C-alpha cells in the first residue's frame, strides 16, 4: 500500500468523492471483505458490494486475498493507498496555470503553483514507481511567528535574496548530464481550527456576531 496516491483520472476522482466510497476507502486501510465492511459500517451488503466493484474498477482498491468458505469465495480487498490527493489533471481544462499571472505576493498565484506541484510530483511518483527508482525530493516544513509586519517583510526580502544566491551558485545551464529541478518557497499565515461563529442579522439589516443578550440597565 502506498502512503499517498495521486488521482489523475477524472472518473476516479468523481468516484472517490462519493461519501460512502470515501468511508469504504478509509475502512480498507486493512484488508476486509464486503461482509466485514457491511457489519462495520452498518450498510447493506449489496450496497457495499456495488461500491466496492466501482472502487476496484477505478484502481482505488485491489484484491489481496481470496478465501474459500464452503460454497462461497470471500474476497479480501484493500485500498491502494493510505491517503489520496486529487491532481489538477482531473480538471485539466480548468486547472490553474501559474504562467497566467505570476505574482509572488498573490495568494491565488500560490494556489496555482501548489496545484502545479501536486500535478508534477504526482506524475513523477507514477513514473518512478513504474521504473522502480527512488524519487529524490526535499521538503522543509516550518513555522515562524513574526513580531510585526515589518519583520515579515524583512524576512521575505532576506529569504528571497538567500534563495537567489543559492540558485545562482549551483545552477549550471550547460552541465552535461545535469537535470533540471524546480524550487518552490512559500510563506503563508498558518490556519488554526476555530469555533464557527454564528451570525445574526439586526433589525437594520446589518450582520453582527451572535453573542450574549445585552443586559437591561
CATH fold, domain 2-85, is Arc Repressor Mutant, subunit A (1.10.10)
pLDDT number for residue 24: 97
- Mean pLDDT of the region 195-215: 46
pLDDT number for residue 191: 86
Residue with more model confidence, 68 or 146: 146
The string of pLDDT tens digits covering residues 5-18 is: 999 999 999 999 99
The string of pLDDT tens digits covering residues 54-107 is: 999 999 999 999 988 788 889 999 999 999 999 999 998 899 899 988 998 899
pLDDT number for residue 107: 92
pLDDT number for residue 215: 41
Mean predicted lDDT score pLDDT of the chain: 88
Helix (H, G, I), strand (E, B) or coil at 72: strand
With 50 as the cut, is the pLDDT of residue 115 above it? yes
Beta strand residue intervals within the chain, DSSP E: 2-7, 61-69, 72-79, 81-86, 199-201, 207-209
CB atoms within 10 A of CB 81: 18
Domain ranges of the chain: 2-85, 87-170
Calpha distance 43→21 (Å, rounded): 12
pLDDT number for residue 193: 72
196: pLDDT confidence band, cut at 50, 70 and 90? low
Question: What dihedral angle (degrees, nearest 10) is formed by the CA atoms of 86, 88, 92, 97?
Answer: 180
Amino acid at each position: 500500500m502506498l502512503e499517498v496516491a495521486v488521482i489523475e483520472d477524472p472518473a476516479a476522482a468523481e468516484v472517490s468523492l462519493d461519501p460512502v466510497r470515501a468511508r469504504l476507502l478509509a475502512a480498507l486501510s486493512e484488508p476486509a471483505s464486503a461482509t466485514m465492511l457491511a457489519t462495520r459500517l452498518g450498510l447493506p451488503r449489496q450496497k457495499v458490494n456495488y461500491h466496492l466493484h466501482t472502487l476496484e474498477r477505478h484502481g482505488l482498491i485491489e484484491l489481496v486475498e481470496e478465501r474459500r468458505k464452503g460454497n462461497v469465495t470471500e474476497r479480501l480487498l484493500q485500498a491502494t493507498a493510505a491517503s489520496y490527493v486529487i491532481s489538477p489533471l482531473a480538471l485539466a481544462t480548468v486547472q490553474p496555470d501559474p504562467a497566467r499571472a505570476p505574482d509572488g505576493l498573490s495568494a491565488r498565484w500560490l494556489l496555482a503553483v501548489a496545484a502545479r506541484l501536486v500535478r508534477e510530483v504526482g506524475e513523477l511518483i507514477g513514473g518512478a514507481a513504474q521504473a522502480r527508482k527512488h524519487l529524490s525530493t526535499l521538503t522543509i516544513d516550518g513555522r515562524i511567528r513574526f513580531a510585526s509586519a515589518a519583520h515579515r517583510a524583512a524576512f521575505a526580502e532576506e529569504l528571497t535574496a538567500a534563495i537567489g544566491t543559492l540558485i545562482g551558485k549551483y545552477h549550471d545551464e550547460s552541465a552535461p548530464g545535469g537535470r533540471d529541478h524546480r524550487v518552490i518557497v512559500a510563506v503563508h499565515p498558518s490556519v488554526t481550527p476555530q469555533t464557527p461563529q454564528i451570525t445574526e442579522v439586526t433589525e437594520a439589516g446589518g450582520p453582527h456576531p451572535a453573542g450574549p443578550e445585552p443586559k437591561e440597565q
